[in-house]
Amino acid sequence: MLEIAIDVMSGDHEPREYVAGSLHALADDADLRALLVGRPEAIQPLLAHESASLRERIEIVPASQVVAMGDSPREAIRRKKESSMRLAIDLVKAGRAGACVSAGNTGALTAMAHFVLKTVAGVERAAIISAIPATHGHTQMLDLGANTKATPEQLLQFAAMGAIIARDIHGLRDPRIGLLNIGEEDIKGHEIVQAAHALLGQSGLHYVGFVEGDDIFFGDVDVVVTDGFTGNVALKTMEGAARLVANRLRAEFHASWPARLTGWMARPVLRRVAAGLDPNRYNGACMVGLAGIVVKSHGRADGVAFSRAIATAALAARRGLTAHIEQALRDNNSVRAQGT
């Protein structure tokens, strides 16, 4: 039975939402066991009415501290060694848990994960990757916030890891990789993306060149690579645009009786569209490149969305994501060395 360490204290919500998400994930996956890391007095009342069979697959791991959303990464590492976030990562390091999930402070989670787990050979910095809905299914995008800056060499490593995940986890035979830029022309962009562009062109990966923001959804690309600052801004912009469209549609369909009738007739189509674009379905971004599996949930995720992050962690653990990336990077490096 796979054990997942779940930080139920960190994030924008009360532990209730994260415990609810954990229970939802356990109900969906009979081979899953949850290590709920946090303050027992906050967790135990939320489990009081659960069935004995479900309760048997839950263990509470006491944590006396919580990493706040405003804590700096340095302070979190130095002063929050008994926090729910740190102990969840420690459980992965010790081999007790196959993965950990947290909705907490991204900077602190990234720093702690690097400090405790380290990165696999050939990777300087881990990156956050997630699937973005697109016309052809999904586009894998990284980095979404782990590194505000990235060197050309690190962007190349992100591309290699993104290709591995797209190919070996999501089944794409020869994933197409694009580098996010302000234009598709070779002369566009600052010196870092220009240098990364040159490295990717010589990498042996299926690199299609520079892509723009709209190509994430409509372009001929499967993996989009960028630094964490740009990636996180792009992701939050997507989320905001989706909410704006949903709010506008809701307002228009309630503006008059004819509009209400039109909305009622269009409801089946609108529900299918909403389901396909629902951020809750895509919650849970893996920190790839670490010597252990860490999944970052959105801080405002509700119980349903948080359960998706747990499911993502379980899938990554069962697919042996860490070992798979390490082996694939080793093979890729060997092929490039032979080519030179």
Residues of the chain with CATH 3.40.718.10: 1-123+289-320, 124-280
Mean pLDDT of 272-289: 73
Bridging pattern class, strands 177-180 and 127-134: unpaired
Task: Please say whether the beta carbons of 139 and 169 come within 8 A.
Answer: no
Q: What is the pLDDT of residue 259?
A: 78
Tens of pLDDT along 217-235?
887 899 999 999 999 999 8
Mean pLDDT of 46-73: 92
β partners of residue 32: 2
Mean pLDDT of 86-101: 96
Specify the range with the lowest mean pLDDT, choosing from 141-145, 163-167, 269-273, 319-323: 269-273
Counting residues of the chain whose pLDDT is more than 90, the rounded percentage is 57
What does the block give as tokens for 120?
Answer: 């696999």
Helices 228-253/257-277 angle, 10° precision = 150
Q: What is the pLDDT of residue 273?
A: 67
Architecture, CATH, for domain 1-123+289-320 = 3-Layer(aba) Sandwich (3.40)
Say how far apart CA 61 and CA 91 lie, in whole Å.
10
Instruction: Give the dihedral of Cα atoms 55, 309, 323, 30; nearest 10 deg.
Output: 30
Mean pLDDT of 149-170: 90
Q: What is the pLDDT of residue 265?
A: 78
Say how far apart CA 71 and CA 101 lie, in whole Å.
18
Q: What is the pLDDT of residue 211?
A: 94
Mean pLDDT of 237-249: 82
Mean pLDDT of 259-281: 71
Q: What is the pLDDT of residue 335?
A: 47
β partners of residue 37: 7, 61
CATH of 124-280, one of 3.40.50.1110, 2.30.29.30, 3.40.718.10, 3.40.50.300: 3.40.718.10
Quote the mean pLDDT of the chain: 88
Q: Provide DSSP, 72-140.
A: -HHHHHHH-TTBHHHHHHHHHHTTS-SEEEE-S-HHHHHHHHHHHH-B-TT-SS-EEEEEEEETTEEEE
pTM score, whole prediction:
0.85
Say how far apart CA 168 and CA 298 lie, in whole Å.
25
Mean pLDDT of 309-321: 91
Q: Is the dihedral of CA 70, 76, 79, 82 positive or negative?
A: positive
Residue 212: phi and psi, rounded to 5, are -100, 175
Say how far apart CA 303 and CA 21 lie, in whole Å.
4
Task: Please say whether the beta carbons of 286 and 308 come within 8 A.
Answer: no
Tens of pLDDT along 33-45?
999 999 999 999 9
Tens of pLDDT along 129-145?
988 888 888 899 999 98
Q: What is the pLDDT of residue 133?
A: 85
Q: Which helix (H) or strand (E) holds 260?
A: helix 257-277
Q: What is the pLDDT of residue 323?
A: 85
Say how far apart CA 37 and CA 8 lie, in whole Å.
6
Task: Please say whether the beta carbons of 110 and 287 come within 8 A.
Answer: yes
What does the block give as tokens for 224?
Answer: 């989009």
Mean pLDDT of 266-273: 72
Kindly report whether the peptide bond that precedes residue 143 is cis, defined as omega within 30 degrees of 0: yes
Say how far apart CA 216 and CA 168 lie, in whole Å.
20
